[in-house]
Structure 1
Amino acid sequence: MAATAHAPSRPAPGAPASTRHFSTKDRILGAAEELFAQFGFTGTSLRQVTSRAAVNIAAVNYHFGSKENLVNEVFRRRMDDMSAHRLAALKAAVERSPGELEPILAAFVEPALAIAQDKHGGAAFVRMVARAYAEKNDSLRRFLSDHYGHVLREFARAIAAAVPELSKEELYWRLDFLAGALTYAMADFGLIKRPAGVTEAAHRERAARELIRFAAAGFKS
């Protein structure tokens, strides 16, 4: 992607070029994630992003080219890592516990809940995911389907092998419900709040166990 006529914001003098470019790009992504979580995708302007990131509009154009691409890249920087963890955990679960449903569901649930614990923007990303469910954004949905649909298909195949009596339609309905329940659990919207004296990590582990048990019962019924 070619740079615009105006140079992007200048990095600190003396820093290596690769580090400086990463720093500017990462600041933009972090600012966009926070603003998209707070105001939504249509409710956030590029001017707000540049102000929050302390860069000029040319820096956004240089690194992303458009607001649509910026939205996609905000998702990509966390979804790539989460997808890799999910697929690695799925492979291990199938090899270690062939035919068992719960380890497959754990491979799907636990990497997502781990993001919610990330102190560096995890909460903002979770709120942004909730926004993606609530707002009609065909471009974003197409991007997510094109880049991460294969992950859901891998899990669908594994679940189908563990619960062969389910029809394909039933399987995808229940997988869709699991994804919705997981998003709800990640956002911590529910009635069950973290008790005093219980760490965030322990609370998330409990949430994962309960969701896996709940989902397993739904797939097996």
Structure 2
Amino acid sequence: MPAAEQTRRAGRPQGNPETGERCLDAAEALFATGGFAGTGMRDIARRADVTIATLAYHFGSKEKLYGRVLARVAGSIEPYLPATTPTPGSPAAVAAIVERFLDWALDHRDYNALLLRELMENPERARRARRWYLLPLIEAYAAAIRDGQRRGTVGPCDPEMTAFHATGAITHFVASTATIGRMLGHDDEAETVDRFRRTLQANLLAMLTPAAAAAAEA
């Protein structure tokens, strides 16, 4: 028997990578609309046009499949984190990271919806989680804020809480952009997004400027 065949028989078969990707695509869409608790393996298998056995073969459990989806979400964010920022250590540098996350959320609305559900709807899963896929983004915000604090260009705010504040504002806004636009009487979504972007930037710069941040801490 050829060595390659012996190796395949000794271990677990590789399966069809295209099938696994199709299952992930189906899971992403369903988790984004129904959340973790509201989405079953049978729903995912039906949408991916595979059997339950095939889905379990590729991913083992719904928890593992969900983890793979979250890993995809995290991987899609990484290219949006700027390698360089204007005036390192400044409020503008932090604002640039936040604005890139807004760009990501607008470009990946299904992922944004899934991320919003992950932040709001999974307290039980959060207690068991061993990996936090959003953490690199929060750490990027916090590192930029601390850099500015060391340089004296960013005020004494809480880096992590400031990061969560910005992240939460963006995920909620993008999930409800259409509703907000209708409430404000905007015919063009771009107008709603532009108003939010300008307000977000102005608020961040005000929060992070040393004098304003010190006054808020007092």
Which consecutive unaligned segments of at least 5 residues does structure 1 have? Answer: 9-20
**SS of equivalent to 1:156:** helix
Identical positions, percent: 24
Do structure 1's residue 83 and structure 2's residue 75 form an aligned pair?
A: no
Give CA deviations for 1:83-114 in whole Å, capped at 9, x if unaligned. 2321xx1x310xx4223212322223324433
Runs of at least 5 residues in structure 2 that lack an aligned partner in the other structure: 1-10, 213-218
Aligned partner of 1:114 in structure 2 is 104
Instruction: Describe the SS at the equivalent of 1:97.
Output: coil
Matches of 1:58 and 1:116 in 2, distance apart? 35
| Alignment partners' CA distance in 2, 1:205 and 1:92 | 23
For 1:13, the equivalent position in structure 2 comes to none
Are 2:202 and 1:210 equivalent residues in the alignment?
Answer: no
Give the SS at the match of 2:84: helix
* Greater Rg by CA: 2
User: Quick one: distance in 2 between partners of 1:211 and 1:144?
Assistant: 29
CA distance in 2, matches of 1:72, 1:116: 22
Whether the 8 Å CA contact 2:113–2:171 is kept in 1: the answer is no
Give, in angstroms, the shift of residue 129 of structure 1: 1.6
What is residue 181 of structure 1 aligned with on the other side? 169
Query: How many positions carry a matched residue from both structures?
Result: 193
- Equivalent positions of 1:32-47 (< 5 A) are 32-47=27-42
> In angstroms, what is the RMSD of aligned CA positions?
2.9
Question: 1:55-92 CA distances to partner (integer Å, 9 max, x unpaired)?
Answer: 11122222212111111111211311212321xx1x31
Residue 92 in 1 paired to residue 120 in 2?
no
In 1: Cα distance, 2:208 partner to 2:90 partner: 12
Query: C-alpha offsets along residues 163-212 of structure 1, whole Å, 9 cap, x if unaligned?
Result: 446446x232222211111111221356345832x465x75455333322
- Of the three residues 83, 91, 105, the one matched with 2:95 is 105
**Structure 1 pair 107–43 and aligned structure 2 pair: CA distance change class (3 A):** same
TM-score (norm 1): 0.72
Question: Which secondary structure state, in structure 1, belongs to the residue aligned with residue 186 of structure 2?
Answer: coil
Does the Cα contact within 8 Å between 1:104 and 1:158 map onto a contact in 2? yes
